[in-house]
Each structure stands twice: as C-alpha cells, then as structure tokens.
C-alpha cells in the first residue's frame, strides 16, 4: 500500500505545470458585418509586471485608433474583452502556441472574429512620392432619386503606390480610408470595404474627369468625378426644402 502511494506521489510531482499563455503583442483580425463588407481590426495587448493585462483596439478602415478595452481577462485558454465605448464584447479561445485566437465579436449581433499575431504591421502612414497625374481632389454627386449626395476623393501618390481618402460632405463625414486603390492605364478602382462600396471608372484623356459607377451592397449608380479647383465646393450644404 505504501509503495502505491509513493509511486502516485512521484507521478504527481513530475507532471508538467500549466503556465499562463503569453498573449502580449499585436493581433490582427477582420470583421465581416455584411457580405462584401470588411473591417480590419488590430488588438494591442500589454502585460504588466504583476501579470495583469491591458489592451486597446484600432479600427484601421475607420481611421479610429486607441479604442480603450475596458476589461480583458484570460483564464486558461479563454479570452474575454469588453469595449464599453462601442458596446462590444469579444469571447475567444487562444490556441496552444498562442499564435491564433478564434472567437466571436458581439455588438448588437454575434459575428465570427479570429485574430492572428501581427507579423507585419498594417501600414496606415505612407511617405509621399512624386505626384501622379491624378493626384488631387475629385468630387462627384450620387443621385439616388430621393436625395443627392456628394462624394469627394483625395488621391495621393506615395512610395507604396496610390492611396486615397473619401469625404461625404452632405453627411458631415471626412477622411474615410479607401482600403484599396487600383489603377491600370485609364482604369481606376477605389474600394471601401468597410462600407461595402467601390467606384470604378475611366480617366479621361484630358485628366479632367473620371466617369464610372458607384456600387454599394449590390446597388449601382452612375458617378462622374471631376477635379475640384475651388475648395468652397467641399463645404457642407443644408438640404433645401421646396416651398
């Protein structure tokens, strides 16, 4: 009997001790609220000397950085986050190597959201390069029938290629990042995956207009962009009520 007890004690004492997973660092994930829509998120996690965790969240495609994570807990492999400022929560499972987190983001409705350790940071700042022939500000008007909305695109050439931002003056929205700018000769495509929108057009030979279509969540409308010479055109205008 004593021998059995002794053997059991040896087995217990030599069993590996589970250590808390180190999840400090930067994590990247993509949220897909609707078909055709994507929001890239970056989760920054730090760990204090006492083992406590802190975190912030960036929404890259909304140009919002440093959103405070109100609470963050890690128990065994279960990670829980609360982001009170956006009324969001996240529940995930950290894999054995602490390189991936599989889970669900809830903000009104649950959506799958997986994070992976960031090996290459998402680049949001770009060094300017020699301006291209379409650098500058372009504006067009979407006519939905019920309303007319102006869209403004600011296109800039950089060392990483063309980048752009979009304004919607009549909605008082500025600086929405264009997630991808693709140019092939006279063809130009501007994608805004965070709103499920895209513009595709042809650049005129005199570089004065870009005529094309705006597509958003399955709907398509004609849109012609023209160079903006007077910045007063970009100001918000109150919609006129017919008398």
pLDDT by residue (tens digit) across 73-108?
Answer: 999 999 999 999 999 999 999 999 999 999 999 998
Q: State the chain's mean pLDDT as an integer.
A: 89
Strand order of the sheet with strand 71-75? 64-68, 53-59, 39-47, 25-31, 110-117, 100-106, 88-94, 78-83, 71-75
**Per-residue pLDDT at 173:** 92
Q: Are 145 and 130 in contact (CB under 8 A)?
A: no
**Per-residue pLDDT at 123:** 81
The string of pLDDT tens digits covering residues 148-162 is 999 999 999 999 999
E strands, 15-63, in order: 25-31, 39-47, 53-59
**Are 23-117 and 136-228 in the same CATH fold?**
yes
Res 16 pLDDT > 60: no
Question: Domain boundaries in the chain?
Answer: 23-117, 136-228
**Per-residue pLDDT at 8:** 46
Q: Are 117 and 43 in contact (CB under 8 A)?
A: no
The string of pLDDT tens digits covering residues 182-230 is 999 999 999 999 999 999 999 999 999 999 999 998 899 999 999 998 7
The string of pLDDT tens digits covering residues 37-74 is 999 999 999 999 999 999 999 999 999 999 999 999 99
The CATH number of the structural domain formed by 136-228 is 2.40.128.20
| Distance between CA atoms of residues 108 and 89, nearest Å | 10
Q: Which fold has domain 23-117?
A: Lipocalin (2.40.128)
Query: What is the reported pTM?
Result: 0.80
| Distance between CA atoms of residues 92 and 114, nearest Å | 8
**Per-residue pLDDT at 120:** 83
């Amino acid at each position: 009997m004593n021998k059995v007890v002794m053997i059991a004690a040896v087995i217990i004492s030599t069993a590996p001790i589970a250590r808390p997973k180190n999840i400090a660092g930067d994590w990247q994930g993509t949220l897909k609220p609707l078909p055709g829509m994507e929001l890239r998120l970056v989760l920054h996690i730090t760990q204090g000397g006492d083992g406590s965790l802190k975190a912030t969240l960036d929404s890259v495609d909304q140009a919002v950085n440093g959103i405070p994570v109100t609470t963050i807990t890690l128990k065994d492999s279960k990670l829980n986050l609360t982001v009170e400022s956006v009324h969001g929560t996240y529940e995930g499972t950290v894999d054995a190597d602490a390189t991936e987190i599989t889970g669900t983001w809830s903000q009104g409705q649950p959506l799958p959201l997986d994070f992976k350790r960031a090996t290459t940071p998402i680049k949001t700042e770009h060094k300017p390069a020699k301006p291209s022939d379409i650098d500058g500000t372009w504006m067009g008007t979407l006519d939905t029938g019920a309303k007319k909305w102006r869209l403004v695109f600011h296109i800039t050439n950089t060392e990483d290629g063309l980048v752009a931002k979009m304004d919607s003056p009549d909605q008082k929205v500025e600086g929405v990042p264009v997630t991808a700018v693709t140019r092939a000769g006279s063809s130009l495509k501007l994608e805004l995956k965070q709103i499920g929108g895209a513009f595709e057009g042809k650049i005129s030979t005199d570089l004065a207009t870009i005529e094309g279509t705006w597509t958003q969540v399955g709907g398509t409308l004609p849109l012609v962009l023209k160079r903006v010479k007077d910045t007063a055109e970009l100001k918000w205008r109150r919609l006129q009520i017919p008398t």
